[in-house]
Amino acid sequence: MYKPLIKIVKTSFAALAFSTCLSLPSTAAKFDVTLDVNIDSSRQAADLKNKIFSYIDNVLITQGPLVIKADLVQVITENKTEDKIYIAKGKPATFKHILGDGSPIYLQANEIKYQPSKNTVVVSGDAELRQEGSSVKGSVITYNFLTEQVNASNNANDNSSRVSTVLQSKILEKNK
């Protein structure tokens, strides 16, 4: 006698839950590498034959929520694919990106290699990544902004160098 009623309630609840999930706005927006790249600098130079553009002094690159600051940036266009590689240098050069959950991630190093076609940023030379009070330091840090995955390594030629990680305590975060 109650089985048909229970079946109707279960079916109605499942339909309601499914439709609610469809109507909720998504907070995990993916980064769009097709957004325009804006570059500001004090000076610029170009090697048109080799497709290398150099931006010198006080360089600021923005692409949607992505920000790169450096002393020198070279934009190299690959001949076969027309993909662009951005190589930023500074003391330090910095990279900021907003993750899908809205939290910022910061990377800094002597050199930043940004490859939008591969969804990667590789920072090298006194490399550091900071996010929500935690940090990772190493010789090279690779960040994939599509998967939001990070790999850090030490200098392969120096056995004494290590990757260093500091994790923010949840107790400290709650007290802020």
3 state DSSP class of 17: helix
CB 152 within 8 A of CB 163: yes
Give per-residue pLDDT as tens, 59-97. 999 999 999 999 999 999 999 999 999 999 999 999 999
138 sits in which H/E element: strand 134-144
| Residue 65, preceding peptide bond in cis (omega within 30° of 0) | no
Give per-residue pLDDT as tens, 129-171. 999 999 999 999 999 988 889 999 987 777 767 899 999 887 6
Name the token pair of 136.
């990772």
Instruction: Give me Rg for the CA atoms of the chain.
Output: 22
Parse the chain into domains and list their residue ranges.
Answer: 38-167
Give per-residue pLDDT as tens, 1-30. 544 444 443 333 333 333 333 333 333 456
Domain 38-167 in CATH: superfamily? Lipopolysaccharide (LPS) transport protein A like domain (2.60.450.10)
**φ and ψ of 79, to 5 deg:** -65, -45
Name the token pair of 124.
């090298």
